[in-house]
């Protein structure tokens, strides 16, 4: 592992204050508004309270914003010629992927750590296993969205496109039952959108799979396969797209 | 495979064509055979789109040939890169805009098992004063020197430069070639692509002309020059003999053109020695001068068109020269 390269990459991303705001500060802020500051926060949500439910959601949002940005920038920097520069060094592609993956992990860890810390300080409550497992699932699942960013970067080859990809995450957040609970037709649609499976899985250690129907107030159980299928299918779609785009890019050089 | 006597570069029947869906395939390189010996300084001269960059990409292992082989020190290009024996300044080598100059050098240095000292390399590339500047704030010439600094990191035996001075003003170009000469004097083999004739003329000892994916001429700078126009011999003749001498010379098969201005005769010829000898002896000429045609003329004669003068870079060049004049 090339620690010098890793350290410089980390410094480079840390310098981008605008991105770091969207990755870390915005999710923390949204958690405080929609989670910690609400009256419903102390109501039960399975293995913990609603504040914790919001905490997991916002941490997940921050984590995917981070991995989308890093995946996208990796694609753009390679397309814009840094790949050729690295092609003149002994560094193998696998080393580059390893460095970028670890960077993604570190940067995604920032909003997760920050939001979970704020959660602990402002009344998020849950079992120890719910805390640990949800945190782990947020981090692992965020990796899927590195591929989402990669696809945008490969397809449009510009920093602006990567910014747009992060922006689209907000829409997927609403559609994916991430920012507030959906029901009825919207919930039915939500199950097909890319963030739904990811955030459902991350919350599962807390909710045990129960969804709250806001109109009836009744808890409804959703089998595990729904979320797992959603994540698997989206990972497959995005990976195939990425492979196709890489091939197209090679043919064009 | 790698043998101690293998030439720096050996290209055999090198072809490269690009295919895109919905387009006819483009043949960028159409059979290049070339050997570059160790310690040579070689210019690849040719207009834009001649196949220079594609050829160099295959030498560097960045592109796989469609057919034929490219060997660097008798080995596959990728192996030569990994061993740090070859390095390059790429025309379109991307830099990361949000790193400083020194960070960029450190980053690339970290990928080599043994790299030259970062500050020493910055010094040699003339970037000591800009080391903490963001790449995004660097001028085109500074970014080019940064690419040069990166190329020095593995302490390569073979240095490849693809249009190294494109976008530089005259002063920056002069400094760049001064730095380059120091590296060449240290015994490196240098191959550079350019479409500036004067760069090939003043820096290279051998010129390989490339057009439409093929090598169309290969020789020393002097050979290439004389190949097209030969040399021009001028002499003064005694009054009254001018007409007969001109007529006698025009009959020689190695004489291309004879023109007269008063008592002065100008002869363009492929064999200047014979013309000079004849003029000084039997024809009674005095005050003899022999000049070589310009590389520009040679290039036009060999390629048979003037595409070299229509490139966009020529315009930039003119602008740079104008700015220079204003200062």
Q: What is d(CA B218, CA B273) in angstroms, rounded to the nearest whole number?
A: 23
Residue A253 touches chain B, beta carbons under 8 Å: yes
Q: Nearest chain A residue to B150 by CA: give it.
A: A85
Q: Give the pLDDT band (50/70/90) at residue B82.
A: very high
Residue % of chain B over a pLDDT of 70: 86
Residue % of chain A over a pLDDT of 90: 57
**Which residue would you say has higher pLDDT here, B226 or B190?**
B190
C-beta separation of A159 from A76 below 8 A: yes
Please tell me the predicted confidence (pLDDT) of residue B229.
58
Structure tokens at B131: 């080391």
Q: Is the pLDDT of residue A160 over 90?
A: no
Please tell me the predicted confidence (pLDDT) of residue B304.
58
Q: Is the pLDDT of residue B84 over 90?
A: yes
Residue % of chain B over a pLDDT of 90: 38
Q: What is d(CA A93, CA A85) in angstroms, rounded to the nearest whole number?
A: 12
Q: Is the pLDDT of residue B64 over 70?
A: yes
Structure tokens at B126: 């003339």
Q: Give the pLDDT band (50/70/90) at residue B292.
A: confident
- Residues constituting chain B: 327
Closest CA of chain A from B90, distance in Å = 8
Q: Are strands B231-236 and B264-269 parallel, antiparallel or unpaired?
A: antiparallel
Q: Is the pLDDT of residue B184 over 70?
A: yes
Asked if A5's CB is within 8 angstroms of B111's CB, the reply is yes
Identify which of B81, B96, B110 has the shortest CB distance to residue A2.
Answer: B110
SS (H, E, C) chain B: CCCCCCCCEEEEEEEEEECCCCCCCEEEEEEEEEEECCCCEEEEECCCCCCHHHHHHHHCCCCCCCEEEEEECCECHHHHHHCCCEEEECCCCCCCCCCEHHHHHHHHHCCCCCCCCHHHHHHHCCCHHHCCCEHHHCCHHHHHHHHHHHHHCCCCCEEEEECCCCCCCHHHHHHHHHHHHHHHHCCCEEEEEECCHHHHHHHCCEEEEEECCEEEEEEEHHHHHHHHHCEEEEEECCCCCHHHHHHHHHCCCCEEEEEEECCEEEEEECCHHHHHHHHHCCCCCEEEEEEECCHHHHHHHHHCCCHHHCCHHHHHHHHHHHHHHHC
- Residues constituting chain A: 253
Any idea which of A22-36, B92-106, B274-288 has the lowest mean pLDDT? B274-288
Considering the entire predicted model, what is its pTM? 0.78
Q: What is d(CA B217, CA B226) in angstroms, rounded to the nearest whole number?
A: 12
Could you tell me which of B118, B88, B149, B125 has the C-alpha nearest to residue A4? B118
C-beta separation of A72 from A162 below 8 A: yes
Please tell me the predicted confidence (pLDDT) of residue A37.
84
Tell me the range of A78-82, A95-99, A129-133 where mean pLDDT is highest. Answer: A129-133
Q: Is the pLDDT of residue A23 over 50?
A: yes
Instruction: List residues of chain B with CB under 8 Å from any CB of chain A.
Output: 18-21, 60-63, 81-82, 84, 87-88, 90, 92-96, 98-99, 103, 106-113, 147, 150-151
List, for residues A88-100, the tens digit of each pLDDT value.
Answer: 999 988 899 889 9
Asked if A77's CB is within 8 angstroms of B93's CB, the reply is no
Section B224-240 average pLDDT: 77
CA dihedral B75, B76, B78, B83 (to 10 degrees): -10
Q: Is the pLDDT of residue B310 over 90?
A: no
Please tell me the predicted confidence (pLDDT) of residue B83.
94
Q: Nearest chain B residue to A7 by CA: give it.
A: B107
Task: Tell which A residues from 94 to 133 touch B, by Cβ distance under 8 Å.
Answer: 95
What integer best gives the mean pLDDT of chain B?
A: 83
Please tell me the predicted confidence (pLDDT) of residue A215.
61
List, for residues B251-274, the tens digit of each pLDDT value.
Answer: 877 777 788 888 888 888 777 888
Any idea which of A62-71, A93-102, B84-93, B247-256 has the lowest mean pLDDT? B247-256
Please tell me the predicted confidence (pLDDT) of residue B311.
37
Q: Nearest chain B residue to A5 by CA: give it.
A: B107
Residues of chain A neighbouring B62 (CB-CB closer than 8 A): 84, 87-88
Residues of chain B neighbouring A86 (CB-CB closer than 8 A): 111
Q: What is d(CA A220, CA A237) in angstroms, rounded to the nearest whole number?
A: 29
Tell me the range of A36-45, B135-144, B306-315 where mean pLDDT is highest. Answer: B135-144
**Which residue would you say has higher pLDDT here, B106 or B258?**
B106
Asked if A4's CB is within 8 angstroms of B90's CB, the reply is no
Please tell me the predicted confidence (pLDDT) of residue B271.
79
Q: Where in chain B is the domain with CATH 3.40.50.300?
A: 9-225
Section B124-141 average pLDDT: 91
Q: Nearest chain A residue to B115 by CA: give it.
A: A89
Please tell me the predicted confidence (pLDDT) of residue B296.
67
Please tell me the predicted confidence (pLDDT) of residue B227.
65
Provide the terminal-to-terminal Cα distance of chain B, rounded to the nearest Å: 54
Please tell me the predicted confidence (pLDDT) of residue A94.
87
Please tell me the predicted confidence (pLDDT) of residue B315.
34
Q: Is the pLDDT of residue A249 over 80?
A: no
List, for residues A214-245, the tens digit of each pLDDT value.
Answer: 666 677 888 999 999 999 999 999 999 988 88
Q: Give the pLDDT band (50/70/90) at residue B293.
A: low
Please tell me the predicted confidence (pLDDT) of residue B280.
86
List, for residues B202-218, the tens digit of each pLDDT value.
Answer: 889 899 988 889 998 89
Please tell me the predicted confidence (pLDDT) of residue B309.
39
Q: Is the pLDDT of residue B239 over 90?
A: no
Asked if A81's CB is within 8 angstroms of B92's CB, the reply is yes
Section B84-96 average pLDDT: 87
Residue A250 touches chain B, beta carbons under 8 Å: no
Q: Give the pLDDT band (50/70/90) at residue A25.
A: very high
Q: Is the pLDDT of residue B322 over 60?
A: no
Residues of chain A neighbouring B87 (CB-CB closer than 8 A): 88
CATH code linked to domain B231-292? 3.30.70.100
Residue % of chain A over a pLDDT of 70: 96
Could you tell me which of B59, B49, B146, B44 has the C-alpha nearest to residue B95? B146
Please tell me the predicted confidence (pLDDT) of residue B122.
95
Residues of chain B neighbouring A8 (CB-CB closer than 8 A): 99, 103, 106-107, 110
DSSP result, chain A: --HHHHHHHHHHHHH-HHHHIIIIIHHHHHHIIIIIT-GGGGSB-SSBBHHHHHHHHHHHHHHHHHHHHHHHHHHHHIIIIIHHHHTTSS--HHHHHHHHHHHHHHHHHHHHHHHHHHHHHTT--B-HHHHHHHHHHHHHHHHHHHHHHHHHHHHH-SHHHHHHHHHHHHHHHHHTTSSS---HHHHHHHTTSHHHHHHHHHHHHHHTTEEE-TTT--EEE--HHHHHHHHHHHHHHHHHHHHHHHHHHHHH-
Please tell me the predicted confidence (pLDDT) of residue B320.
34
Residues of chain A neighbouring B107 (CB-CB closer than 8 A): 4-5, 8
Say how many C-beta atoms besides its own lie within 10 A of residue B105's C-beta: 26
Any idea which of A27-31, A122-126, B68-72, B302-306 has the lowest mean pLDDT? B302-306
Q: Nearest chain B residue to A15 by CA: give it.
A: B98
Number of alpha carbons in the 13 Å side-chain half-sphere of residue A227: 22
Q: What is d(CA B299, CA B317) in angstroms, rounded to the nearest whole number?
A: 19
Please tell me the predicted confidence (pLDDT) of residue A65.
94
Mutate one of A70, A81, A85 to test the B interface: name it (highest B CB count within 10 A): A85
Backbone angles phi, psi at B193, to 5 degrees: -100, 140
Residues of chain B neighbouring A20 (CB-CB closer than 8 A): none
Any idea which of A21-30, A161-170, B117-126, B287-296 has the lowest mean pLDDT? B287-296
Residue A16 touches chain B, beta carbons under 8 Å: yes
CA dihedral B219, B40, B110, B74 (to 10 degrees): 80
Provide the terminal-to-terminal Cα distance of chain A, rounded to the nearest Å: 30
Identify which of B62, B63, B103 has the shortest CB distance to residue A8.
Answer: B103
Q: Where in chain B is the domain with CATH 3.30.70.100?
A: 231-292
| Burial zone of B253 (CB within 10 Å; 0-12 exposed, 13-18 middle, 19+ buried) | exposed
CATH fold of the domain at B9-225 = Rossmann fold (3.40.50)
Q: Is the pLDDT of residue B314 over 50?
A: no
ipTM, 2 dp: 0.84
Please tell me the predicted confidence (pLDDT) of residue B301.
67
**Which residue would you say has higher pLDDT here, B313 or B55?**
B55
Residue A77 touches chain B, beta carbons under 8 Å: yes
């Amino acid at each position: 592992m090339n620690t010098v390269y890793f350290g410089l990459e980390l410094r480079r991303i840390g310098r981008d204050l605008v991105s770091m705001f969207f990755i870390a500060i915005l999710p923390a802020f949204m958690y405080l508004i929609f989670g910690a500051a609400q009256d419903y926060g102390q109501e039960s949500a399975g293995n913990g309270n609603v504040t914790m439910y919001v905490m997991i959601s916002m941490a997940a949002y921050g984590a995917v914003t981070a991995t989308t940005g890093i995946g996208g920038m990796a694609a753009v920097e390679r397309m814009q010629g840094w790949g050729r520069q690295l092609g003149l060094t002994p560094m193998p592609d696998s080393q580059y992927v390893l460095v970028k993956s670890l960077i993604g992990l570190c940067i995604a860890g920032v909003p997760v750590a920050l939001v979970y810390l704020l959660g602990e300080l402002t009344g998020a409550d849950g079992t120890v296993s719910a805390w640990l497992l949800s945190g782990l699932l947020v981090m692992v699942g965020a990796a899927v969205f590195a591929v989402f960013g990669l696809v945008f970067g490969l397809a449009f080859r510009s920093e602006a496109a990567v910014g747009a990809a992060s922006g689209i995450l907000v829409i997927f957040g609403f559609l994916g039952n991430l920012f507030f609970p959906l029901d009825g037709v919207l919930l039915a649609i939500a199950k097909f959108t890319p963030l739904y499976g990811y955030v459902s899985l991350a919350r599962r250690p807390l909710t045990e799979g129960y969804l709250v129907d806001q109109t009836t107030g009744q808890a409804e159980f959703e089998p595990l396969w729904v979320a797992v299928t959603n994540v698997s299918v989206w990972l497959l779609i995005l990976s195939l797209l990425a492979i196709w785009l890489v091939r197209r890019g090679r043919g064009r050089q | 495979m790698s043998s101690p006597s293998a030439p720096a570069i050996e290209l055999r029947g090198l072809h490269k064509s690009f295919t895109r869906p919905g387009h006819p395939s483009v043949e960028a390189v159409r059979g290049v055979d070339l050997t570059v010996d160790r310690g040579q300084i070689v210019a690849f001269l040719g207009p834009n789109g001649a196949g220079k960059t594609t050829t160099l990409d295959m030498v560097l292992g960045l592109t796989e040939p469609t057919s034929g082989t490219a060997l660097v020190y008798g080995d596959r290009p990728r192996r030569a890169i990994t061993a740090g024996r070859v390095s390059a300044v790429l025309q379109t080598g991307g830099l990361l805009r949000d790193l400083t100059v020194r960070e960029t050098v450190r980053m690339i240095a970290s990928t080599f098992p043994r790299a030259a000292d970062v500050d020493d390399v910055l010094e040699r590339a003339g970037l000591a004063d800009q080391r903490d500047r963001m790449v995004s704030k660097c001028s085109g010439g500074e970014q080019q020197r940064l690419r040069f600094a990166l190329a020095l990191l593995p302490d390569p035996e073979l240095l490849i430069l693809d249009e190294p001075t494109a976008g530089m003003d005259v002063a920056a170009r002069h400094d760049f070639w001064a730095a380059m000469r120091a590296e060449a004097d240290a015994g490196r083999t240098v191959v550079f692509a350019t479409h500036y004739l004067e760069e090939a003329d003043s820096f290279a000892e051998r010129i390989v002309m490339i057009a439409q994916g093929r090598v169309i001429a290969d020789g020393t700078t002097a050979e290439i020059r004389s190949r097209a126009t030969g040399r021009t011999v001028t002499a003064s003749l005694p009054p009254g003999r001018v007409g007969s001498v001109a007529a006698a010379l025009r009959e020689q098969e190695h004489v291309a053109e004879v023109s007269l201005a008063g008592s002065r005769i100008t002869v363009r010829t492929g064999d200047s020695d014979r013309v000079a000898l004849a003029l000084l002896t039997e024809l009674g000429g005095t005050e003899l001068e022999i000049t070589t045609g310009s590389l520009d003329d040679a290039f036009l004669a060999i390629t048979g068109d003037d595409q070299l003068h229509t490139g966009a870079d020529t315009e930039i060049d003119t602008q740079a020269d104008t700015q220079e004049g204003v200062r």
